[in-house]
Homo-oligomer: A and B are copies of this chain.
Amino acid sequence: MIPTQCLAAKDASGKMMRHTFNRRAVGPADVHIKIKYSGICHSDIHTAKGEWGKKSYPLCVGHEILGRVVAVGADVTKFKVGDLAGVGCFTDSCRKCDECKDGDEQYCSGEGGMHGTYGSQRPEHLHPGGITMGGYSSDIVVDEAYTIKVPEKMDVAAAAPLLCAGITCFSPFRNFGVKEGMTIGIAGLGGLGHMAVKISKAMGATVIGLTRSKGKVETALAMGCDKVIITTNPEEMKGASKSMHMIYDSISAPHSLPDYLALIKNRGTLLVVGGVPEAIEGLTQGQLLARGLNIQGSCIGGIRQTQEMINFCAEHDILSDIELIDAEPEAVDTAWDRCLRSDVKYRFVIDTAATLGRGFEASGEKKGNDD
């Protein structure tokens, strides 16, 4: 067993506390990673607060994990000690269903689906305590088949968010075949949207930012948008009618899908990645069939595509724009509050390796991470 220090939600308030738990011992196919950086994703907050189902506490979240391999199992071939390694939104799956065989493990249709990196009930022998624990922690043990190789050239702090935010853009773009000659709209310019701009631009597309806020125009252009449309301006919206092959819609609040469909070319796709809980309004079947339009849901991406994504981002110097914070309960609490107000450019990353041990030292507990 590997004693592991972490920051964990103490209860459904989501407030952070210092906590120690055990990871499983390194099995034949496992890699043991000392975590250096862990990104903060909105899903962490939803899950910790029990908004996506009741949870047990303390719960350590985080699924944008980057670190260095410190031990490998006897059968491991992909990693050696010292390698940079990444872990995303899931750490295992059934490996037998059609989805797993196709490399779409995120849609695993086996018993219980993919093994979410945190908050998912799983066997004790894999996850001591019976629940998966995430990346706001000093160590993680993961099967190498669910671990991503990270090129040494990457800035590991700013690369961490790629493991969730990056793949959530890359996978549907690759599946759609985004390439030069295509015009792609990016609706919502937050954590997902800013990655979508960078990745679709690097794939050769003409990229149009779609935002309600005039204040975002300059940064959107700096980020790589070829043009920005203010969605509250009817003239601009009308002028962009039927001009886009696909819109990547990362807006997480209710919004009028027909307004965005109007911007899409015949036979095009509205790709939704925002888990808006309210029902879609004002959409008719006729709007879809008359022009052969498509509303496609997409959820992160599989392991093969995640590896492709990391390699692609390394090659194209794509990183997340981040704010680095200390691994201290108050700092994470504040970051979560700011996330909920969309007050972040564009992703918080926890400096786990350098700062997580501190609090434990002060309280007399074992020092965690000295990579």
The residues of A with any CB-CB pair to B shorter than 8 Å are 98-99, 104, 106-107, 109, 242, 265-267, 272-299
Residues of the B chain whose Cβ atoms lie less than 8 Å from the Cβ of A275: 285-286, 289-290
Whether B277 contacts A288 by the Cβ 8 Å rule is no
Residues of the B chain whose Cβ atoms lie less than 8 Å from the Cβ of A99: 266-267
**Alpha-carbon distance between A136 and B351 when the two chains are bound, in angstroms:** 75
> Which of A104, A267, A290, A298: most chain B Cβ within 10 A?
A267
Whether A282 contacts B279 by the Cβ 8 Å rule is yes
> Which of A278, A292, A294, A298: most chain B Cβ within 10 A?
A292
Across the interface, A272 reaches (CB within 8 A) one of B273, B274, B276, B285, namely: B285
In the complex, what's the smallest C-beta–C-beta distance from A88 to chain B, in angstroms?
Answer: 16
Closest to A171 in B: B292
Residues of the B chain whose Cβ atoms lie less than 8 Å from the Cβ of A272: 285, 288-289
Closest to A294 in B: B296
In the complex, what's the smallest C-beta–C-beta distance from A110 to chain B, in angstroms?
Answer: 11
**Alpha-carbon distance between A162 and B104 when the two chains are bound, in angstroms:** 37
In the complex, what's the smallest C-beta–C-beta distance from A159 to chain B, in angstroms?
Answer: 24
Closest to A106 in B: B292
Whether A288 contacts B282 by the Cβ 8 Å rule is no
Given the known interface contacts A107-B267, A292-B107, the answer about A276 and B285 at a Cβ–Cβ threshold of 8 Å is yes
